């Protein structure tokens, strides 16, 4: 039974991924700092849900409260456990929040990431997998975004920190020949999602008859990707590490890959809101506004590489995914 360290395991994607990995027969050590970027009760409820999920199942799972920005805590974690695979999802999330609290991004996304990958480099891992973001593409004009596109022009500190993670991971992969895979996530949504995300806050506001702010007059395009499609893709990647990649630009060869992981089917913010209205059987009160600083008009993932390499093929439409989220929302909030 291979042992996986999953950081950010009480987060949205991490919570769902734990269940998937356990179903596949992996032993999972989940860690999370349980910070208060959003209501910690949701994180604790995810952990309770996981405990219910593993009850009466023959699985190996343990949760530990660990702050990855604390070097001593991370070192002690790796000294206690022999991990085969590390999946680093822990990070300070949110584009707009990075304008208000930049220090938290430097601490979690830079210092924390370095602590994890440094300990991983000494652990003889089979595979190091980490979360990047579609935000690294900034305001690139060319669509859809491909992994070979230039990502030197981030428009938020969050995006810059994720680009830095990719560069750090490549250097470690080259230096220690450690197989590394980075995943550029495209607007993930679904049950138990983050309350600061638009689909969650819109659902709450529409349900309560509160006006919603619709930026860029609803013309923004997003490659909304349902959580089940995301964890299915990650579970495939976990089971196949990248090979040594040689290129024509540099001799810094490494077993390193970066992939887009999205729906490959962007929809307008207008259609997204209409899906919520349909699922709730209630219309939204809309406050139409221009674009916000740090936002980008379009995210659109070219996932051909991931499809060819791992057979990744998302299947959930925005209407299907939003309906599932709204059903969960009504049940959770009673």
pLDDT in tens, 101-113: 788 888 889 999 9
Q: Which domain holds residue 167?
A: 3-333
pLDDT in tens, the chain (334 residues): 899 999 999 999 999 999 999 999 999 999 999 988 888 999 999 999 999 999 989 999 999 999 999 999 999 999 999 999 999 999 887 777 777 778 888 888 999 999 999 999 999 999 999 999 999 998 898 989 999 999 999 988 889 999 999 999 999 999 999 999 999 999 999 999 999 999 999 999 999 999 999 988 888 899 999 999 999 999 999 999 998 877 777 888 899 999 999 999 999 999 999 999 999 999 999 999 988 776 778 889 999 999 999 999 999 999 999 999 999 999 999 8
Single pTM value for the model: 0.94
Q: What are the helix (H) ranges across 66-197?
A: 71-80, 97-100, 102-105, 113-121, 157-176
Please report, for residues 43, 151, 155, 205, 245, the alpha-carbon distance to residue 192 in angstroms, rounded to integers and kept in the order given: 9, 31, 28, 17, 37
Q: In the sheet that 61-65 helps form, which strands lie side by side, from edge to edge? A: 61-65, 27-32, 3-7, 85-88, 127-133, 180-185, 256-261
Q: CATH number, domain at 313? A: 3.40.50.720
How many domains, the chain? Answer: 1
332 has catalytic annotation: no
Please tell me which residue in 97, 105, 137, 158 is annotated as part of the active site: 158
pLDDT tens-place string over residues 126-171: 999 999 999 999 889 898 999 999 999 998 888 999 999 999 999 9
The full length of the chain comes to 334
């Amino acid at each position: 039974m291979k042992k996986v360290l999953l950081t950010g395991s009480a987060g949205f994607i991490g919570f769902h991924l734990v269940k998937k990995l356990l179903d596949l027969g992996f032993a999972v050590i989940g860690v999370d700092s349980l910070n208060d970027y959003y209501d910690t009760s949701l994180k604790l409820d995810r952990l309770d849900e996981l405990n219910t999920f593993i009850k009466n199942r023959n699985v190996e799972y343990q949760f530990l409260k660990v702050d990855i920005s604390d070097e001593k805590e991370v070192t002690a974690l790796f000294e206690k456990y022999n991990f085969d695979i590390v999946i680093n999802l822990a990070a300070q999330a949110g584009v707009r929040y990075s304008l208000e609290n930049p220090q938290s991004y430097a601490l979690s996304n830079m210092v924390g990431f370095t602590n994890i990958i440094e300990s991983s480099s000494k652990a003889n891992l089979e595979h190091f997998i980490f979360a990047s973001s579609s935000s690294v593409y900034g305001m690139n004009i060319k669509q859809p975004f491909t992994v070979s596109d230039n990502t030197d022009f981030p428009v938020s500190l969050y995006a810059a920190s994720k680009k830095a993670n990719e560069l750090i991971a490549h250097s470690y992969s080259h230096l220690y020949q450690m197989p590394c895979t980075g995943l550029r996530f495209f607007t993930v949504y679904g049950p138990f999602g983050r309350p600061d995300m638009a689909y969650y806050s819109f659902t709450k506001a529409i349900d309560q008859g509160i006006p919603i702010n619709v930026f860029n007059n609803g013309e923004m395009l997003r490659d909304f990707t349902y959580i089940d499609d995301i964890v299915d893709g990650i579970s495939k990647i976990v089971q196949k590490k990248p090979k040594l990649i040689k290129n024509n630009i540099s001799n810094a060869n490494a077993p390193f890959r970066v992939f887009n992981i999205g729906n490959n089917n962007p929809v307008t913010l207008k259609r997204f809101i209409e899906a919520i209205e349909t699922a709730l059987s209630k219309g939204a009160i809309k406050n139409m506004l221009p674009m916000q600083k740090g936002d980008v008009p379009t995210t659109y993932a070219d996932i051909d590489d991931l499809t060819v390499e791992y057979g990744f093929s998302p299947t959930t439409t925005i209407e299907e995914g939003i309906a599932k989220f709204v059903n969960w929302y009504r049940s959770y909030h009673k």
